[in-house]
Chains A and B, each alone.
Chain A
Amino acid sequence: MPTLTFIEHNGTAHQVKGDIGQSVMQAATFASVPGIPADCGGACSCATCHAYVDEAWLNTVQAPEGMENDMLEYAFERRDNSRLSCQLIISQEMDGMVLHLPSSQF
């Protein structure tokens, strides 16, 4: 089971175990990580699961495309490493990945 670390905007870190094939968003919500309301439940319809992939891990994930990219355009404080975590599917390579959460989702 890959382990992911979510770091809240205030610096609080949460280590979360995720299943391969599960979305990063669901791993976070299953562990009640604050700051990821994920209102639409992973349908890429609400942009409330925004996270920044730590620079050191950017090569592990694809760049956002299509719908996700369009939604991110309106995510709060988008950066180059912004992703919607519902569209990131956990793989073994992500073991140890660090994600930072924005100060607000919308």
Chain B
Amino acid sequence: MTLASVVIVGAGQAGFQVAASLRQEGYDGRITLIGDEPGLPYQRPPLSKAYLLGKIQETNLLFRPAEFYATQRIELLHNQATAIDRVNRRVVLASGDAISYDHLVLATGAHNRPLPVPGGELPQVFGIKTKADADALAPLAKAARNVVVIGAGFIGLEFAAVAAALGANVHVLELAERPMARAVSREMSELFRQAHEQWGVHFDFRQGLSRIDGDNGKVCAVQTADGRVLPADLVVFGIGVIPNAQLATEADLAIENGIKVDANLLTSDPRISALGDVASFPCLQNDEQHTRLESVQNAIDQARAVASRLMGKPAPYSALPWFWTDQGDLKLQIAGLSHGYDSTVVLGSAKDKQLSVLCFRNDRLVAVESCNRMGDHMAARKILARAPKLTAAEAAADGFDLKAWEAANRD
């Protein structure tokens, strides 16, 4: 099967990587990469941390310089795909043009769930998704005295750490009872709660907001759900994302919490793949239930899988999920998916800010969360990539060392 042309919609981490991997694998046909943001494709993780703090510059965000796209013959279009004509195998663009494809890749990502309260439209209210968001936010973050963060997930807490480091009073409102409640264990949440409080961040758990007040068009306060008024000159929210599945929905592709794909990352149309944040795939590490993961690792590994398949080497996608977040001097790394874990074993000490939490389900290791214990994280990735035989009792024994166990239990 030789494909004359591959069209990729979405020039984020997943879309870029499909293009790069196709060329790396020797694909010689036409590659069109369509992105609706200006500039060259860039990485998003630093937007809510290092880039905001000015620790890295704009060019450090880029995946590749401009020459790469020319030499690799990757046609980068700054445009928006508005429709898929599956019968004629064409993507229609906002400019009115249409581009033919032999294979179409949907890497359309996700957008921030909007903040559904009065005042949410004020100019000092930010979600962080694009470089433009971060560029507009950075000067306000430096000048802000009172920052209210809505949502204590990865993005919210990364920003809270940045704002605290910049000297603002930071108040975080979170509907759940602890930080990163959907992503990490109670033990790890507690370590991060304490660290943020030491940095001066104030938490309100089980608390939402009812409105954001403005004065002459500028944010001046946030009203909590229980009726308190918090002074604010900047509000940043991170309350989850919504997959950008509209294009696929309108093209009648199967949808299930994002674009539904099979184990080979093919949509219900065999000439269309979907991957990354927008794709809901049967996840090996989640009992093959359809799962949508929002992570760099997922975008990159799925992109490699799609490129390999298009080059005639199909294989069911099975890569181990892993994640990271940097907050202040804490690096949290997670290997595996802890969904439904029923017991934990803790290594290290929260007091020293060096902690690993091993999550077990039915006495099988399913995930390892590590804070400032990179060795444990790397060992966990090796262990979890095979069917791990480590039991909770073994891990709980005095003097247990995850790295030593990994070294002793290689095949």
Complex CA distance for A45 and B374, rounded to whole angstroms: 8
Give Cα distance in the complex from A39 to B331, angstroms: 16
CB-CB < 8 A to A71: which residues of B? 374-375, 378
Bound CA–CA A43/B375 (angstroms):
15
* CB pair B379 A74 closer than 8 Å: yes
Q: What are 17 residue pairs bridging A and B, where the CB atoms are less than 8 Å apart in the complex? A: A29-B63, A29-B64, A30-B65, A32-B64, A39-B297, A40-B45, A41-B45, A42-B56, A43-B46, A43-B50, A45-B324, A45-B333, A46-B297, A47-B378, A71-B374, A73-B378, A73-B403
Q: List residues of chain B with CB within 8 A of the CB of A73.
A: 374-375, 378, 403
A41 touches B375 (CB 8 A): no
Interface residue ranges, A against B (CB under 8 Å): 19, 22-23, 26, 29-30, 32, 34, 37, 39-47, 67, 70-71, 73-74
The docked-state distance in angstroms from the alpha carbon of A43 to that of B296 is 12
Residues of B within 8 A of A (CB): 24, 43, 45-46, 50, 56, 59-60, 62-65, 68, 72, 296-297, 300, 324, 326, 331, 333, 372-375, 378-379, 382, 403
Q: By DSSP majority rule, is chain A's interface helix, strand, loop, or mixed?
A: loop
Q: How far is the CA of A67 from the CA of B378 in the complex (A)?
A: 12
Q: Which residues of B contact A43 (CB under 8 A)?
A: 45-46, 50, 324, 326
Q: A43-B46, A45-B324, A73-B403 are in contact. Are A22 and B60 (CB under 8 A)?
A: yes
The closest CB in chain A to the CB of B301 belongs to: A39
Q: Taking CB as reference atom, which chain B residue is nearest A23?
A: B60
CB-CB under 8 A from A67, the residues of chain B are: 331, 372, 374
Residue of B nearest to A21 (CB): B57
User: What is the CA–CA distance of A48 and B25 in the complex, to the nearest angstrom?
Assistant: 19
